[in-house]
Amino acid sequence: MSTYYTKDHEYIRIEADHAIVGISDYAQAQLGDVVFVELPALGQSFGTGDQVAVVESVKAASEVYAPASGQVSAINDALEASPGLVNEAPQGAGWFFKMTLSDKSQLASLMDEAAYQAFVASLG
Instruction: Please report whether residue 110 resides in a domain.
Output: no
| 75 within a domain of the structure (yes/no) | yes
The reply to whether 116 falls in a domain is no
Mean pLDDT of 87-102: 97
70: in domain: yes
Domain count, the chain: 1
pLDDT at 1: 74
- Asked if residue 114 is part of any domain, the answer here is no
Q: How far, in Å, CA of 54 to CA of 40, rounded?
A: 9
Q: How far apart are CA 41 and CA 44, in angstroms?
A: 5
Over residues 78-107, the mean pLDDT reads: 96
**Full domain range(s) for residue 43:** 2-103
Instruction: Name residues whose C-beta falls within 8 Å of residue 47's C-beta, 6 or more positions apart in sequence.
Output: 66, 69
Q: Evaluate whether residue 97 is within a structural domain.
A: yes
Q: Is 108 within a domain?
A: no
* 117 in any annotated domain: no
Instruction: Give per-residue pLDDT as tens, 3-25.
Output: 999 999 999 999 888 899 999 99
The CATH number linked to 27 is 2.40.50.100
CA angle 114, 119, 121 (to 5 degrees): 95
Task: Determine the average pLDDT of the residues in 47-68.
Answer: 96
